[in-house]
Amino acid sequence: MNAAIAIQLGQAVLVVLLAPLFAGWVNQCRAWLQNRRGPGMLQPYRVLRKLFHKDAVLAHRASFLFRATPYIRFGCMVLAAYIIPTLASGLPISPAADVIALVGIFALGRVFMALAAMDIGTAFGTMGARREMLVAFLAEPALLMVFFTPALISQSTSLSTIVHTLAYQPFVIHPGLAFAAIAFLMVLLAENARLPIDNPATHLELTMIHEALVLEYSARHLALMDWASNLKLLAYATMGLALFAPWGIARTIDGPSLWLALACLPVKLAVAGAALALLETLSAKLRIFRAPEFLAMAFLLAVLGLLTHVLLEGAA
Amino acid sequence: MYLLAVLLTPIAGAVLLGLCGHRAHAGAVNAAMSLLTLIAATLLTAQVIEYGPMLAFDELFFVDSFNVFLVALTAFVGFTTALFSRPYMLIEMHHGRIDARRLRLYHASYQLFMFTMLLALLTNNLGIMWVAMEAATLATVLLVSLYRTPASLEAAWKYFILCGVGIAQALFGTVLMYFAAEQVLGAGGTALLWTHLDAVKSQLEPSVLTLAFVFLLVGYGTKVGLVPLHSWLPDAHAEGPTPVSAVLSGLLLNVALYALVRNKVLADGALGGDLTSHLMMGFGLLSVVVAAFFLSRQQDAKRLFAYSSIEHMGLITFAFGMGGPVATFAALLHMTVHSLAKSAIFFAVGHASQKAGTQMMDSIRGLVDTNPTIGWGLMLGSLAILGMPPFGVFASEFLIITTAMREHPWATPFLLTALGVAFAAIFGRVQPMVFGETTGKRLPHPPAILPVFVHLALVLVLGVYIPPYLAEWYRQAAALIG
Amino acid sequence: MSASLATQLVNLFASLLLLIAFAMLAQRRVLSLIHLFAWQGAVLALNTALVAFVTHQHHLYYSALLTLILKVILLPWILHRLIDKLNVRWDVETLVNIPTTMLIGVGLVIIGFNVAMPISHLSETVTRGTLGIALASVLLSFMMLITRRKAVPQVIGFLAMENGLFFAATSATYGMPLVVELGVALDVLVGTFIFGIFTFHLREAFDSLDIEHIEKLKER
């Protein structure tokens, strides 16, 4: 039991520490794809260190909410990292790893971020919050729909059980999952402020979404916000891997399978990060008014996945 | 062997006219090839009269009492239309509406169209029947747009898309039919042969056949011009050259209906007939009523008679839907006489509008003065199509309506109203065209008016006397269709 | 290959077909539409070959080959040439309200399945579950045909519908007799040619390939 708890904690710590690296890897890949040398994979760590060493500046009218938000959001993401079966399923806290709960945790972090952005009362903060909520309001149902297809296949909304079913039962092709995977990818792009919905590399006032939200933060607050964003991206990536490519995730807590999981994880993440970078390089930013269309497509694809699953495999 | 000749002659004609269709004598060649086809068809008919129904070429082709008269009719109308089109198209060329290349296209497509019609009629394979029906659309679509005017291009595009989509539904229906047949007959070629299907029709799975028939009805119904799938029909008839309107109305609609009825026989065998009968009666009645009310609003002479075609096709579909020996007999007779009378009218209208330089009925006046034969041809044709005794249309309409009165009294008021409205509309339009005051001069060129009167004479004859073998075919076919 | 794996693969192909049909519905660019159409043909050919392999129906190999030649190579090639000559290669259509269109599309999928459900269980083929998808993709192409206002996308919608029908034929039965399939293929080919000729006439007469411009013939 103690070993299990240790692994559980270890997994969370690993994810929290790895998150900036993953973000760095994606940025590095993008740089390579754009024929730039790039700042190196460790750049996010350097940025974090720099930010933590600075003194924080707060707006005069900033309330308690504004100061608390970075900690709340970071906490939410750590909690998410804690329950997503990144290395092993069937850990002590697995029963809590419910996909619907996960969506809730993400939503909690987002609501606080939007509130904090409006707290200062600047025009950009409010605009960013509005846009963020517009995207989120459409992305969330799509994400839920995405989860329902694997949930139907494994008859459970627990991530742990889903991973079990998909990875360790005789191999079956689920066409519905393919639709869900594409929809998930679209949601991932939208939720993590990546292209084509938002450009993480720009501070152009009129188009930014995510950057507008954290515009008023500085020093350790900004560091936590950035780290939380990195964590969110990694959480989504591991979630996607758990749902659509669960092979290698340890089922039992013993040495060999854990080592296997530890070996698989970096490989899978590296591939996923490179693919993400490629996708971002290939796509152009959509106008903000196209975002609803983009997310509606994701939603419809997820519904379609659900339908094909129910109709094709439910009937058989 | 005559069967092969019936099919190969139009193909040879198409090749020949593809090579020389732009020459001055092409019209004569077209007529000659059509005549050869007619002779072959007549010989085939004689063979069937003598020896009865026959299968040929590994059961790929099939002639029975239901399609033999349609084959003869198709070849006949094909021939007379070719006769009519020879001077007509030459005048069009003089007027500069088409050039030599398009004349070649016209002649080659005309022969191809005849081939597809005959193939659809003669084949025993439901799949080939579909292929031939689709090919008929393809062969005629460039004919509809022959003048390349914006209106004709639009009409052709509409025709293409609507009929293409419609006929695709029919393919789905055919696939389902094959699916049902495969379970009884096993996979392979025989499961689409109508004769085999007919033998096992009572064993076909009803639920599949229901769906198949609905798709086939929508598909072939589009081609028949049943309301609400009719919107391509008036445009295509009005904007294409008149000979094309004549064969579309006189032949294509018939053949599409033939395809539908062949499939109906199978569906009836599996389903017992209620569904098919109700559907066909419903669509038929709707077509009759809607078309009749559209008639009165038409300004264009060819559009007017196109709507009249929809009305008559609706009536025939309704009669097939009622079923029973009398109604089916009447439907078959009506197919024959409508085809003859309608093509005669299109010939007359074609000449009249060619002379007037417009198809607008308000601009065509006093045909009896300018050209008595055309005037009388149009008048008599209109009277025939409106069901005046003693023309054959009267006989068939009378039979249909009396049967409807006896078996489906609820439908009679609709039918009678529609026929009344149609009468008022068409007669009201045609009367001033024929007898109105005119300042026009006599037609400078002699019209090819012979086909008009031959057709009308045949319609008249069929009204008073049906040859015994024809009556026998109708009866046998009626027994087959049920 | 085990029967269950074959069924799964066929289901996968069917879903891909449906996915492509949806993508076509939402695709604005003419060029991408042609690519999608070629992909659809490729999926179709693969599926047919797979069914042929699993069931040892040799005539299906021919039909797979026919599909490959016609729908992956020949027709897209003709379409490419067509858009080159018409100079509409980079055309982008303005489609209003794609989400609504897609939502109706999802509705059509459900309808297709409900219609096909009672009869697909009668089938004994490995492909039986896919009849609903075939019908759904026919309906989706039909819808594409309705929503498009330009000539070339309409043509592609028309051809995609034929793809759906072909898929129906291989999923409900093991394909139609070869002679029928050849005939259908010929019709499709000739039809595409005529469409091609036709678009030139249209442009000559209207200076546009916009179908809206040519809707003059209406009942008054």
Cβ–Cβ under 8 Å, residues B302 and B430: no
The percent of residues above 70 in pLDDT, for chain B, comes to 97
Number of domains in chain A: 1
Q: How far apart are CA B394 and CA B409, in angstroms?
A: 20
pTM greater than the 0.90 cutoff: no
Contact A312 C102 (CB under 8 A): no
Among partner residues A300, A301, A315, which is closest to C117 by beta-carbon distance? A315
Q: Contacts of residue B196 in chain C, CB cutoff 8 Å? A: none
Q: B133 in contact with C at a CB cutoff of 8 Å?
A: no
Q: Contacts of residue A172 in chain C, CB cutoff 8 Å? A: 8
Three-class SS string for chain C? CCHHHHHHHHHHHHHHHHHHHHHHHHCCEHHHHHHHHHHHHHHHHHHHHHHHHHHCCHHHHHHHHHHHHHHHHHHHHHHHHHHHHHCCCCCECCCCCHHHHHHHHHHHHHHHHHHHHHHHCCCCCCCHHHHHHHHHHHHHHHHHHHHCCEHHHHHHHHHHHHHHHHHHHHHHCCCCCHHHHHHHHHHHHHHHHHHHHHHHHHHHHHCCCEHHHHCCCCCC
| Alpha carbon distance, N-terminus to C-terminus of chain C | 62
Q: How far apart are CA C24 and CA B329, in angstroms?
A: 48
Contact C202 B153 (CB under 8 A): yes
Its ipTM equals 0.90
Contact C15 A312 (CB under 8 A): yes
Backbone angles phi, psi at A41, to 5 degrees: -70, -20
Q: How far apart are CA A178 and CA A173, in angstroms?
A: 9
Q: B11 in contact with C at a CB cutoff of 8 Å?
A: no
Copy the structure tokens of residue B202.
């009572």
Cβ–Cβ under 8 Å, residues B213 and B260: no
Closest C-chain CA to A176: C15
DSSP letter at B410 equals G
Among partner residues C8, C11, C103, which is closest to A300 by beta-carbon distance? C103
* Residue B454 host element (H or E): helix B450-464
Beta-bridged to residue B300, according to DSSP, are B360
**pLDDT, tens digit, 9 for 90 and up, residues B293-332:** 999 888 899 999 999 999 999 999 999 999 888 999 999 9
Residue numbers of the domain that contains A174: 2-315
Long-range pairs of A120-125 with CB within 8 A, sequence gap ≥ 24: A120/A59, A120/A61, A120/A62, A120/A66, A120/A216, A121/A61, A122/A215, A122/A216, A124/A205, A124/A212, A124/A215, A125/A212, A125/A213, A125/A215, A125/A216
Domain assignments of chain C as residue spans, ordered by start:
3-214
pLDDT at C213: 66
* Residue B63 host element (H or E): strand B61-63
Q: Tell me the average pLDDT across C172-191.
A: 82
Q: How far apart are CA A228 and CA A78, in angstroms?
A: 8
Among partner residues A176, A296, A316, which is closest to C99 by beta-carbon distance? A296
Q: Which of B205, B210, B193, B202 is nearest to B277 (CA)?
A: B210
Is the pLDDT at B447 greater than 80, yes or no? no
Q: How far apart are CA B162 and CA B231, in angstroms?
A: 8
Written as tens digits, the pLDDT of chain A (316 aa) is: 677 777 778 878 888 888 888 888 888 888 888 888 878 778 888 888 888 888 777 777 778 888 888 888 888 888 888 888 777 776 777 777 788 888 888 888 888 888 888 887 787 878 888 888 888 888 888 888 888 888 888 787 777 777 777 777 766 777 778 888 888 888 888 877 777 777 766 666 666 777 777 777 778 888 888 888 888 888 888 888 877 877 777 766 677 777 777 777 888 888 888 888 888 878 777 777 777 888 888 888 888 888 888 777 664 4
**pLDDT, tens digit, 9 for 90 and up, residues B83-137:** 999 888 888 888 888 888 889 999 999 999 999 999 999 999 999 999 999 999 9
Percentages of chain A per state (helix, strand, coil), in multiples of 5: 75, 0, 25
Largest CA distance in chain B: 71
**pLDDT, tens digit, 9 for 90 and up, residues B338-393:** 999 999 999 999 888 888 888 888 888 888 888 888 888 999 999 999 988 889 99
**pLDDT, tens digit, 9 for 90 and up, residues B11-42:** 999 999 888 888 888 889 999 999 999 999 99
Q: Tell me the average pLDDT across B72-77.
A: 94
Cβ–Cβ under 8 Å, residues B381 and B304: no
